[in-house]
Chain A
Amino acid sequence: MATFDLKINGTTQRVEADPSTPVLWVLRDHLNLAGTKFGCGMAQCGACTIHLDEVAVRSCMLQVSQVGKQEITTIEGLSANGDHPVQKAWIEQDVAQCGYCQAGQIMTAAAFLKKNSNPTDEEIASAMNGNICRCGTYLRIREAVKTAARSL
């Protein structure tokens, strides 16, 4: 067990955890931030995507000891009022079916649009390729990313 001071969604939180604990489980188990989802545990599905200093990373393979001073943003902290352009676009396109993967999809999309605010369809699909949606909402995900890009 070790103590970590993590910057999460704009506040510093102290966590006691085994240094090997993935950030995913620190968020879900220790900090009650359950919006970041467990999907595969091996960075294959993207359900656990968070931002580490504005870069989309898979929190299931990121050990809490690796975070250091980098800032973590989770779906809960993406916007204060749930009105980030990507979140609004997801509502506008009514993307979700079961909804389980969508927090990870949104975090991937938000980080991507920060780097490329005017993407082509191919760039969008490639950027979203690491996030599996078992319900098959891929078309609406692409539409929502385009909608968000227009409003940025």
Chain B
Amino acid sequence: MSTSTKAINRRKFIQVSALAGGGMLLTFNLFTGCKPGVSKVLELPKEWYQLNGYLKIGDNGLITLMSPNPEIGQNVKTSMPMMVAEELDVAWKDVIVEQASLNTDLYKPMQLAGGSNSISASWEAMRNAGATAKQMLKQAAANEWKVPVAEIETLDGNLIHKASGKTAGYGQFASAASKLPVPEKVTLKNPKDFKIIGTDRKNVDGQKIVTGKPLFGIDYKEDGMLIAMLVHPPAFGLQLKETDISNLKAMPGIVDAFYVDVYPDNVKTQWCDVAAFSKLLAIVGKSVWQVMQAKKSFKPETEPIKASAKKIDMFGSQVEVITPAGFENTASHKKQMADISPSKVKQVRRDGDPEAAFKSAASIIEKHYYCPFLAHNTMEPMNFFADVRNGRALLTGPIQTPSFLEQTISARLGLPLDKIEVKMTRMGGGFGRRLYGHFGVEAAVISQKMNAPIKLIYTREDDMTNGVYRPAYMATYRAALDENKNLIAFHVKAGGIPESPLHANRFPAGAIANYLAEEWAVPTNISTGAFRAPASNFIAGAEQSFLDELAEAMGKDPIEMRLQLFESAKKNPVGKDNDYDIDRYAGVLKLVKEKSGWATPLPGVHRGVAAYFCHNSYVAHVIDVVMKNDKPVIENVTTAVDCGIVINPDAATNLSEGAVTDAVGHALYSRMTFTNGIPDQSNFDTYKMIRNTEAPKKISTHFVKSEVPPTGMGEPSGPPAIGAIANALYKATGKRFYSQPFLLENQA
């Protein structure tokens, strides 16, 4: 972010705050707020005063902070308000957190959970919200006490004027402060003075989670609400054919059943409207079980789709998406990828003369890597509540992209944005799946047809077989060595169904004189999309496995080999646009080397190392594997992370541990395969997820101490874990692992 952009954002924010200020009295319900701790009873204030869109202060000094972004388990509902509380200078125990609804005018830059972006994108806005409110409180006290505002200090929600000995809680001046103009300029704290940022704070929803309070979209209820479920075709490449459904309507508890076309051709759609099946059968009834029974009894008739091309809006530009006809198979996918025609391969980056270097090489290493489609499998299946009546649409549910959902709802229902309200519930996992809000649009279309509030629920089978899957990818890595085993050229060619996973300007680009990066893509009619750390969730593992094999061929220690490449990139950078900070990248490798005791390996413990940069953060792991009864056991993981300033270290540690377990689990065990367009897995009996006994026994996470503004944390720890486990498995078994899922790779 450049300086000028920052200035513009600040001005916008202050204008917005001014609009939201003005002593508005708000009603408040304790049950919408969240507070950690078991027995804490907070006395509610008589009146609340809103100082800006992010916070309101009660006359008794209690603070409500709004958490603008969707909560998918990345803990932003705790860590984002921590940034406001820090600058507001209040005690965390006096803070209540509320989930904000979608408000595109108020909350900038965007209420979105994706790209590990929530914290970094709101780093300025959240702190400014706290700092401007604090300044208004100081000004109100200065006016009343008739002292210069500069002489007033704050501490834990108190205003203090030392010279006169006057003190007051924020609550006493909340009303007066809320009527003051929002200051143009505020000074933010020096990171050295942080008291909340950088400290461990427990999940504000923790107590509600452990006591089973209704927090999730699937728990949401309103009076008169009906339950809706959908029937989709059994295979990709098919669409529903309308048939007589009168028997279905006569089943117990069924109110109605009808076919819907969720995305007719005339409706403008966006990148997040990925959905394989637009024509669906909706079954609406009184209870989940009754609707499930009706759904189970119905066998839809189908017909093959025709190939099509559709323009969609991709952040303002129009992109054509091609959907081929036919039934796809995992086996033929693999062949299609391996046999990709040279005419389909596109050069993305070239440094030096890679062809000549490969020609002159004393030896060449060439390896192929593969990963299958994956289903997101959030534990909470897709669902959404919609009430579309009387020219208004009220939507409540789990969505990572609420502002985009609102746009599509507007286009689909023909309603202006100001007639649409979107509320976000806590989400039972996101991982990218809930970027694609077709289930919200489906709910709205069903509610509109019923003229009644409905909650749409997917069964696990619906969720798994009507997914927006992680694409299947393949990559070929080649390296050329001279007669002294020096690396003289590097070539990566990667692609996927339906997109390439390549990041051509990431390491080792910049460190090798002769470098070639190429990519390709194959279209599919299977719906695909972002999956936690998109593309990196494959290419990091492939690249880091290849570097490990390369280090071995060069006769070097895998950490030293990487550090030497960084050294070379620093002294003699090759090419332009190298997309990483050499010192920070090398820094996490050095830290993990130290913390893992890399120099002193233990007997019987097989270690693999990997490092990766994505979402603007740097992560390195050393994974220790021990063989027990011929099975690999992950005894220990040592993790080093550089994500700039860490807001909530224990929560960030939890997130990193989870990302490692998630990534290792998928790399070892998980796959989504297809036979004649039919998903071969439809529930957890056939789709293997990592479980408790297979998870790492121990993970120690170390953060680089930093004063750099925070960068991504939800995703970056996953991708390098795939490389580290592949490299550890090689040490443990003597066999290299190229094809995911590694522990099932020899099975059909």
Instruction: Check if A98 sits within 8 Å of B426, measured CB to CB.
Output: yes
Instruction: Check if A136 sits within 8 Å of B690, measured CB to CB.
Output: yes
* Residues of chain A in range 94-143 having any CB-CB distance to chain B below 8 Å: 94-103, 106, 121, 125-126, 128-142
CB contact between B209 and one of A38, A42, A99 (< 8 Å): that residue: A99
In this complex, what residue of A is CB-closest to B212? A35
A side interface size, CB within 8 A: 63
Instruction: Check if B692 sits within 8 Å of A125, measured CB to CB.
Output: yes
A62 within 8 A of B: no
* Residues of chain A in range 20-51 having any CB-CB distance to chain B below 8 Å: 20-22, 25, 28-30, 32-42, 44-45, 47
Instruction: Check if B380 sits within 8 Å of A140, measured CB to CB.
Output: no
B658 contacts across to A, CB distance below 8 A: 97, 135-137
Instruction: Check if A21 sits within 8 Å of B289, measured CB to CB.
Output: yes
A74 within 8 A of B: yes
In this complex, what residue of A is CB-closest to B227? A29
A83 within 8 A of B: yes
Chain B proximity of A113: nearest CB distance (Å)? 15
Instruction: Check if A98 sits within 8 Å of B429, measured CB to CB.
Output: yes
Chain A CB within 10 Å, residue with most, of B288, B289, B660: B289
B407 contacts across to A, CB distance below 8 A: none
In this complex, what residue of B is CB-closest to A131? B692
Instruction: Check if A96 sits within 8 Å of B209, measured CB to CB.
Output: yes
CB contact between A135 and one of B212, B429, B692 (< 8 Å): that residue: B429
Instruction: Check if A102 sits within 8 Å of B662, measured CB to CB.
Output: no
Instruction: Check if A35 sits within 8 Å of B377, measured CB to CB.
Output: no
Chain A CB within 10 Å, residue with most, of B252, B430, B695: B695
Instruction: Check if A35 sits within 8 Å of B211, measured CB to CB.
Output: yes
Chain A proximity of B530: nearest CB distance (Å)? 16
CB contact between A38 and one of B36, B218, B427 (< 8 Å): that residue: B218
B645 contacts across to A, CB distance below 8 A: none
Bound-state CA distance A42–B429 (Å) is 20
Instruction: Check if B379 sits within 8 Å of A75, measured CB to CB.
Output: no
A76 within 8 A of B: yes
A7 within 8 A of B: no
The A/B interface has a contact count, at CB < 8 Å, of 200
Bound-state CA distance A96–B684 (Å) is 21
Bound-state CA distance A135–B683 (Å) is 18
Bound-state CA distance A105–B207 (Å) is 15
A75 contacts across to B, CB distance below 8 A: 210-212
Given contacts A34-B212, A40-B684, A103-B212, contact A140 B207 (CB under 8 A): no
Segment with Cβ contacts to A, from B70-78, B389-397, B482-490, B581-589: B70-78
Segment with Cβ contacts to A, from B240-248, B351-359, B563-571, B649-657: B649-657
B268 within 8 A of A: no
Instruction: Check if A40 sits within 8 Å of B657, measured CB to CB.
Output: no
* Residues of chain B in range 690-720 having any CB-CB distance to chain A below 8 Å: 690-693, 695-699
B183 within 8 A of A: no
Chain A proximity of B301: nearest CB distance (Å)? 25
In this complex, what residue of B is CB-closest to A29? B287
* Residues of chain B in range 216-232 having any CB-CB distance to chain A below 8 Å: 216, 218-219, 221, 227
CB contact between B654 and one of A21, A90, A97, A106 (< 8 Å): that residue: A97
B75 contacts across to A, CB distance below 8 A: 97
Given contacts A29-B289, A97-B75, contact A40 B698 (CB under 8 A): no
B659 within 8 A of A: yes
Instruction: Check if A98 sits within 8 Å of B657, measured CB to CB.
Output: no
B72 contacts across to A, CB distance below 8 A: 98
Bound-state CA distance A133–B378 (Å) is 9
Given contacts A82-B207, A91-B36, A96-B205, contact A41 B460 (CB under 8 A): yes
B39 within 8 A of A: yes
Instruction: Check if A137 sits within 8 Å of B657, measured CB to CB.
Output: yes
Instruction: Check if B210 sits within 8 Å of A37, measured CB to CB.
Output: no
A34 contacts across to B, CB distance below 8 A: 212, 214, 218-219, 221
A21 contacts across to B, CB distance below 8 A: 287, 289
A59 within 8 A of B: no
CB contact between B210 and one of A17, A90, A135, A140 (< 8 Å): that residue: A90
Bound-state CA distance A45–B202 (Å) is 26
Instruction: Check if B379 sits within 8 Å of A39, measured CB to CB.
Output: yes
Instruction: Check if A99 sits within 8 Å of B692, measured CB to CB.
Output: no
Instruction: Check if B203 sits within 8 Å of A96, measured CB to CB.
Output: yes
Per-residue 0/1 for B45-86: is the Cβ within 8 Å of any A Cβ (1 yes, 0 no)? Answer: 000000000000000000000000000111100000000000
Given contacts A81-B39, A99-B428, contact A139 B203 (CB under 8 A): no
CB contact between A99 and one of B73, B430, B690 (< 8 Å): that residue: B73
Instruction: Check if B212 sits within 8 Å of A36, measured CB to CB.
Output: yes
In this complex, what residue of A is CB-closest to B698? A139
Bound-state CA distance A88–B93 (Å) is 18
B38 contacts across to A, CB distance below 8 A: 81-83, 88, 91
Instruction: Check if B685 sits within 8 Å of A18, measured CB to CB.
Output: no
CB contact between A139 and one of B377, B651, B657, B685 (< 8 Å): that residue: B657
Bound-state CA distance A44–B660 (Å) is 23
Bound-state CA distance A42–B296 (Å) is 14
Chain A proximity of B661: nearest CB distance (Å)? 3
Instruction: Check if A136 sits within 8 Å of B659, measured CB to CB.
Output: yes
Chain A proximity of B670: nearest CB distance (Å)? 11
Chain B CB within 10 Å, residue with most, of A22, A34, A38, A95: A38
Instruction: Check if B379 sits within 8 Å of A134, measured CB to CB.
Output: yes
B469 within 8 A of A: no
Bound-state CA distance A133–B431 (Å) is 13
Chain A proximity of B182: nearest CB distance (Å)? 35
In this complex, what residue of A is CB-closest to B428? A100
Bound-state CA distance A17–B293 (Å) is 13
Bound-state CA distance A25–B457 (Å) is 13
B213 within 8 A of A: yes
In this complex, what residue of B is CB-closest to A75? B212
In this complex, what residue of A is CB-closest to B286? A29
B420 within 8 A of A: no
Bound-state CA distance A38–B378 (Å) is 12
Given contacts A42-B683, A129-B693, A139-B661, contact A134 B377 (CB under 8 A): yes
In this complex, what residue of A is CB-closest to B218? A38
CB contact between A96 and one of B200, B210, B214, B288 (< 8 Å): that residue: B210
Given contacts A76-B211, A82-B210, contact A142 B692 (CB under 8 A): yes
In this complex, what residue of B is CB-closest to A104? B379
Chain B proximity of A76: nearest CB distance (Å)? 5
Instruction: Check if A47 sits within 8 Å of B379, measured CB to CB.
Output: yes
Bound-state CA distance A2–B329 (Å) is 46
Instruction: Check if B683 sits within 8 Å of A40, measured CB to CB.
Output: yes
- Supply 8 A–B pairs (Cβ within 8 Å), ascending by A: A42-B460, A42-B683, A87-B210, A98-B378, A99-B215, A103-B210, A135-B658, A136-B662
B positions within 8 Å CB-CB of A: 36, 38-39, 72-75, 200, 202-203, 205-207, 209-216, 218-219, 221, 227, 252, 287-290, 292-293, 377-381, 426-431, 457, 459-461, 650-651, 654-655, 657-662, 665, 683-685, 689-693, 695-699
A positions within 8 Å CB-CB of B: 17-18, 20-22, 25, 28-30, 32-42, 44-45, 47, 74-76, 78, 81-83, 87-88, 90-91, 94-103, 106, 121, 125-126, 128-142
In the complex, besides A81-B39, A97-B654, A134-B379, 20 extra interface pairs with C-beta distance below 8 angstroms are A20-B289, A39-B684, A47-B379, A75-B210, A90-B209, A94-B202, A96-B206, A98-B380, A98-B427, A98-B430, A99-B426, A100-B216, A103-B209, A103-B210, A128-B692, A129-B692, A136-B690, A139-B661, A139-B696, A140-B654
Which 6 A-B residue pairings sit nearest by Cβ, starting from the closest?
A: A35-B212, A100-B428, A98-B73, A136-B661, A75-B212, A138-B695
